[in-house]
Amino acid sequence: MPELPEVEVVRAGVEHWVSGRTVDDVAVLHPRSVRRHTAGAGDFSLRLKERSFTAVRRRGKYLWLELDSGDAMLAHLGMSGQLLVQPREHAAERHQRVRIGLGPAERELRFVDQRTFGHLLIGPLVEDARGGSAGVPAVIGHIALDPLEPEFDDDVFSASLRRRRTGIKRALLDQSLISGVGNIYADEALWRARLHWARPTAGLRRPQVSDLLKHLRDVLREALSAGGTSFDSLYVNVNGESGYFERGLKAYGRAGRPCERCGAAIRREVFMNRSSYSCPGCQRAPRS
């Protein structure tokens, strides 16, 4: 699933093309893609048509396009969702689900989603209870700040993390504690911080949490610079281009390969119905 860097790359690309544009046509081609818009596809189209996009924002893995009506169109990409900007005459993508015409330019914003796990919905913006400077869609009010937001408070996060009774990676994936971090970047940050994914949060010292946050921000920014991580053709930016940060991965997906720091073979372990990668030499597992 796309994580913070991938969603931010998409957000920046969408903003370039849609900010200030007025919607002159909407076509919902698959109802499942607007299933979270409970008023239905007709209402979704009605609330978009003849409205202008004023800004494109992101929190964690969610992005939303603000409208001059005071509402916003929330987009969650899921496992395979793509937001593409194409000329109107461009051939339809095989898994195109929603098409939004952008006037006066002869372009369209297209939601393409092979597995239809992603979704779009329109709803009101509310005051950000998490302390952000802009409003957020009401349906994601529970999502925590992400570590690249200026309002993110390291001390508050450290205290909250250390009060938890769980493993460090499970905590990093909890979007109510910190948003935008998924399996790939959690493994990469933990490798850099020399922390095993099962390390209990309650035993962490504040300097260790500060060090982990530093490495987490570093890896997220490096991934952003590389356009994100693409293991297949499902994650692309608005121009249909893949990211290349997978070339810089140190732990994730490297099972059996030597650790670049100590030479031990990277180990793959089952974690929450997915995989977790770590170095048995640099990231010692906690005693059971």
Give the tens place of pLDDT for each residue, 117-153: 999 999 999 988 887 768 999 999 999 999 999 999 9
Per-residue pLDDT, 79: 85
Short-list 127, 129, 126, 95, CA closest to 113: 95
Binning pLDDT at 50, 70 and 90, where does residue 80 land?
Answer: confident
Please check if 196 is assigned to a binding site: no
Residue 245 has pLDDT above 60, yes or no: yes
Residue 102 has pLDDT above 90, yes or no: yes
Q: Which residues are catalytic?
A: 2-3, 61, 274
Per-residue pLDDT, 226: 86
Please check if 257 is assigned to a binding site: no
The domain limits of the chain are: 4-140, 154-278
Residue whose tokens read 């089952």: 270
Please check if 164 is assigned to a binding site: yes
Residue 274 has pLDDT above 80, yes or no: yes
CATH code at 4-140 = 3.20.190.10
Beta partners for residue 38, in sequence order: none
Per-residue pLDDT, 239: 67
Per-residue pLDDT, 215: 98
So what's the architecture of 154-278 in CATH?
Orthogonal Bundle (1.10)
**Order of strands across the sheet that contains 22-28:** 22-28, 96-103, 107-113, 81-87
Per-residue pLDDT, 17: 94
Binning pLDDT at 50, 70 and 90, where does residue 256 land?
Answer: very high
